[in-house]
Amino acid sequence: MNLNSKIPSGHISEKWTNHKFNLKLVNPANRRKYDIIVVGTGLAGASAAATLGELGYNVKVFTFHDSPRRAHSIAAQGGINAAKNYKNDGDSVYRLFYDTVKGGDYRAREANVYRLAELGNNIIDQCVAQGVPFAREYSGLLDNRSFGGAQVSRTFYARGQTGQQLLLGAYSALMRQVAAGTCVLFPKREMLELVLVDEFARGIIVRNLITGEIERHSGHAVILATGGYGNVFYLSTNAKNSNATAIWRAHKKGALFGNPCFTQIHPTCIPVHGEYQSKLTLMSESLRNDGRVWVPKNPNDTRKPTEIPEEERDYFLERKYPSFGNLVPRDVASRNAKQVCDEGRGVGSTKMAVYLDFADAIKRLGKNVIEERYGNLFQMYEMITGENPYETPMMIYPAVHYTMGGLWVDYNLMSTIPGLFVLGEANFSDHGANRLGASALMQGLADGYFIISYTLADFLASNKLGNVSTDHDSFVKAQKDTEDRIKKLLSIKGEKTVDELHRELGKIMWDYVGMSRNEQGLKKAINMIRNLREEFWKNVKVLGDDKDLNQALEKAGRVADFMELAELMAIDALHRNESCGGHFREEYQTEDNEAKRDDENFAYVAAWEFKELGKWGLHKEQLTFEYVKPTQRSYK
């Protein structure tokens, strides 16, 4: 297989403009002849569906939620980046591009990142026009704040609910198209299979989650915008239903999977508190603007944090990274928190936490200002922990948050299956080995509002695609495969519940494929995952039947796929003999414990081809850096 990234020629600042001109168009009268399937209604899916509907395509939109507005984009708190330079602090599209390539530790495609930085400004314009209530200055102009990994203020925000407001904007645009009849909504449908006809993606098989009915849907192209796979770790900040099934089914039908081991561990989450814990809660990274991260210097210090004097505290991020301080990128902040906890200096009953302290900020700015900035986050913290962060420092610990890896796509966001496009977190494309804060929202909306409409038109205009009937053999077979799988899950009647097995998988992943990895641990993990997967298919217990709303059955299908994906993540982490961004291999670190890249041997995207279960083929897309020369990342 020849991986062609289709990066346009020309200067980086002109690539997208030139490419748009070179792409073929579909004339308005012909658009209504095309059926486009969109799976997922988060920022990427909802914005894509609405935009394609506005253009006149027939769009069928699928979500496993009861309403498109529930998609997990809604939970993003902090903000969205754009290089508007409203603060006159030296920002530019080029600087946002530079920060993102560097933040991604030189494992992202330059051309994609530049386009993302370029489109950021259009996104803000679009969202404001939709009525997204961004924070304002007294002048009525838009406000900005700073965020990790950057020295400029370029983050637009709507209190601590930026994701919610952006998603409701995209959702309202989608609802407008549903009312207009250009988009047809299929809620409570879960995609369980991709259907290929003559090697093109031509449809999907979904299960109606209320009636259990299996449905076939055909189209001229399929767009997956189904989010990330952080829940492979069981405990993550992802919503409980977030899963990898749609992309994993596509992967098994031939779509290569890019950089599966690139996982982002977010530094500011509420620590784990018990065995029954079902998920982890993120506290927005924006808290690091004013909060100071510290642990006691003495590992055996049992005093209350407020009783520990200044000189006996170690503000370890400020000490090690004086120029970025508490605003170092996520991977660096997470790794350092783990390090101090491994040294025995962690705090709280589990000793697996560090303090995030607002006492100085409250003294400097007043409680009112802090409340205005972070009121809802402080309230959320108190709700969960029973402690008041205005009076005592928060306790935080890193948690799985985002997956930079995903299905491999070219510059047109098309996977290795023709007609299968992948948007947002579900693809691998823009964040390299580490995503900077406030750029996931940007990517989801750039893909959905401003990229897919151009590249999809080119695909449709370049390929003479007739209609396919859902009676085609490929649909019949895909439906049968789906039904057999469901029957199998229900017939095992074993001893362990889906959640029990999922927890076991999560523990393996966190211990050996988590924040820090090594060869021995990864090899061990691969064996453990294989054994657990075998156990799953012999010993899972799923009650009820398939012609009904059956949440245990839904989970079982998703966890079965996680059991396969987990192995690929470990294989990818094992093969990448370097550290970069969120992928930290203990064998490869600098003298001061920073990630040590190997650009000579690993400056590529690892794109994995599924051969059979437990067997993958590696394809490499070499990355070239013409504009941002790779250096050892330094935030000192």
Site for another protein in 254-273 (CB under 8 A): 272-273
- The two structure tokens encoding residue 28: 């308005």
Q: What is the H or E stretch that residue 222 is in?
A: strand 221-224
Q: In terms of CB distance, is 381 or 408 closer to another protein? A: 381
Q: Does 29 engage in binding with another protein (CB under 8 A)?
A: no
Q: Which is nearer to another protein, 359 or 552 (CB)?
A: 552
DSSP-assigned beta bridge partners for residue 201: 196
Site size for another protein (CB under 8 A): 88
Whether 248 and 405 have beta carbons less than 8 Å apart is answered as no
Q: Which amino acid is at 356?
A: L
Cα distance between residue 77 and residue 377, in whole Å: 9
**How far are the Cα atoms of 71, 299, 411 from residue 44, in angstroms, in the given order?**
10, 45, 16
Task: Identify the residue whose tokens are 């004086």.
Answer: 322
User: Three-class SS of residue 176?
Assistant: helix
Catalytic residue among 69, 330, 373, 558: 330
Task: Give the footprint of another protein on residues 416-445 (CB under 8 A).
Answer: none
Q: Which of 172, 298, 518, 539 binds another protein (CB under 8 A)?
A: 172
Give the strands of the sheet with 394-403, arranged side by side: 263-269, 394-403, 354-357, 292-296, 313-314
Instruction: Judge whether 26 and 461 are in contact, CB under 8 Å.
Output: yes
Stretch that binds another protein, among 239-247, 514-522, 576-584, 591-599 (CB under 8 A): 239-247
* Residue appearing with tokens 């704040």: 145
CA 206 to CA 368: how far, in whole Å? 50
Is 43 among the residues that bind another protein (CB under 8 A)?
no
Give residue 63's Cα distance to chain centre: 17
The Cα 326–Cα 287 span in angstroms is 10
- Cα separation, 423 vs 320, in Å, equals 37
Closer to another protein by CB, 124 or 568: give it.
Answer: 124
95 is catalytic: no
**In this chain, which of 19, 60, 84, 435 binds another protein, going by CB under 8 A?**
84
69 binds another protein (CB under 8 A): yes
Q: Pick from 17, 67, 306, 624 the residue near another protein by CB under 8 A.
A: 67
246 binds another protein (CB under 8 A): no
> Is residue 41 near another protein by the rule CB under 8 A?
no
Considering only 39, 185, 191, 423, the residue that binds another protein (CB under 8 A) is 185
Closest CB 589 distance from another protein, rounded Å? 28
Interacting positions 591-630 with another protein (CB under 8 A)? none
Regarding 204 and contact with another protein (CB under 8 A), the answer is: no
161 lies in the site for another protein, by CB under 8 A:
yes
Residue type, 497: T
Q: Which is nearer to another protein, 179 or 612 (CB)?
A: 179
State whether residue 534 is helix, strand or coil. Answer: helix
Q: Which is nearer to another protein, 275 or 473 (CB)?
A: 275
Nearer to another protein, 123 or 603 (CB): 123
**Would you count residue 92 as binding another protein (CB under 8 A)?**
no
Nearer to another protein, 278 or 590 (CB): 278
184 binds another protein (CB under 8 A): no
Q: How far is CA 204 from the centre of its chain?
A: 23
Q: Does 223 bind another protein (CB under 8 A)?
A: no
Taking the complex as a whole, the smallest distance from the CB of residue 356 to another protein amounts, in Å, to: 17
* Of 458, 552, 539, residue with least CA distance to 501: 539
Cβ proximity to another protein, 53 vs 432, nearer residue: 53
Contacts 24+ apart (CB under 8 A), 205-208: 205/475, 205/478, 205/479, 205/482, 206/62, 207/482, 207/486
- In 3-state terms, what secondary structure has residue 447? helix
Which segment (402-410, 496-504, 530-538, 584-592) binds another protein by CB under 8 A?
496-504
Q: Choose the binding region for another protein from 192-200, 276-284, 475-483, 621-629 (rule: CB under 8 A).
A: 276-284
Indicate whether 352 belongs to the interface with another protein (CB under 8 A).
yes
Of 172-180, 312-320, 516-524, 603-611, the window that binds another protein (rule: CB under 8 A) is 172-180
* 3-class DSSP state of 211: coil
CA distance 354 to 102: 27
Amino acid at 329: P
Segment lying near another protein (by CB under 8 A), choices 64-72, 318-326, 403-411, 423-431: 64-72
Q: Which of residues 285-304 bind another protein (CB under 8 A)?
A: none
Q: Please give the span between the terminal C-alpha atoms of the chain, in angstroms, as a whole number.
A: 42
By CB under 8 A, what part of segment 121-160 binds another protein? 122, 124-131, 133-142, 158-159
Nearest to 170 by CA among 234, 80, 231, 232: 80
Within 522-581, the residues that bind another protein by CB under 8 A are 541, 543-544, 548-549, 551-552
Least Å from the CB of residue 609 to another protein: 33
Residue 56 sits in the site that holds another protein (CB under 8 A): no
For another protein, which stretch binds (CB under 8 A), given 224-232, 333-341, 376-384, 573-581?
376-384
Binding residue for another protein (CB under 8 A) from 81, 85, 165, 427?
165
Q: How many residues in the chain?
A: 636
Q: What's the token pair of residue 440?
A: 């996931």
- Write the single-letter amino acid at 499: D
Q: Given the complex with another protein, which of 28 and 466 has the nearer CB atom?
A: 28
> Of the two residues 175 and 532, which places its CB atom closer to another protein in the complex?
175
Residue 69 tokens, joined: 């507005």
CA-CA-CA-CA torsion for 248, 254, 260, 266, nearest 10 degrees?
-50
Active-site residue set: 330
